[in-house]
Amino acid sequence: MSNDVQTRNADSSSAAESSDKAPALIPRVDVLEDDTGITLLADLPGVPKDQLVLKVEGDTLLVEGTLAPLTPGKLEATYAELRLPRYRRSFTLSRELDAERIDANLKDGVLRLRIPKQAHAQPRRIQIQTA
């Protein structure tokens, strides 16, 4: 237990490309929807911008981040609540969402994703015809 933080961080850069099998933490998220799209907020503390990977494959959105090694380097871990150096979570998008125009912003360890809806999928009021 005590060595986990250090040893796993040491190889974190090579693991950034990610094997799907590597154990990872599941980040906590908030998902909100409004008329024009979906907003996803994810907690990824310790992940710098260049270690964050966002991928859309088919209808699956993958969020993956690797923690920056803790400084100073020569650290003997005595207590660890966070024991894995990476986060991973995937979501299934639905068809009316426009995966091409996802907007991402990472600030202070909070990832904010804006997934807009396709223009034709935005709400319009449907008139009821009376006979």
Partner 1 sequence: MYETMLNFPGSLLGELERLQRQFDEALGAPGRAASIRSVAPGTFPAINIGNTPTSVEIYAFAPGLDASKTEVTLDRGVLWLAGERAAELPDPGERRLVYSRERTTGAFKRAISLPDDVDPAQVTAAYRDGVLHVSLARREEAQPKRITIQ
Tell me the per-residue interface mask from 111 to 130 with partner 1, x by CB under 8 A, - otherwise. --------------------
- The residue from 14, 72, 120, 131 that contacts partner 1 (CB under 8 A) is 72
DSSP string, 7-72: HHHHTHHHHTT--TTS--B---EEEEEETTEEEEEEE-TT--GGGEEEEEETTEEEEEEEPPPPSS
Please tell me whether the peptide bond between 69 and the residue prior to it is cis, using omega within 30 degrees of 0. Answer: no
**Binding to partner 1 (CB under 8 A): which residues in 7-66?**
28-35, 41, 43-48
* Residue 108 makes contact with partner 1 by CB under 8 A: yes
CA dist 22 and 95 (Å) reads 29
Nearer to partner 1, 73 or 129 (CB): 73
Residues that bind partner 1 (CB under 8 A): 1, 5-6, 28-35, 41, 43-48, 68, 70-72, 74-82, 107-110
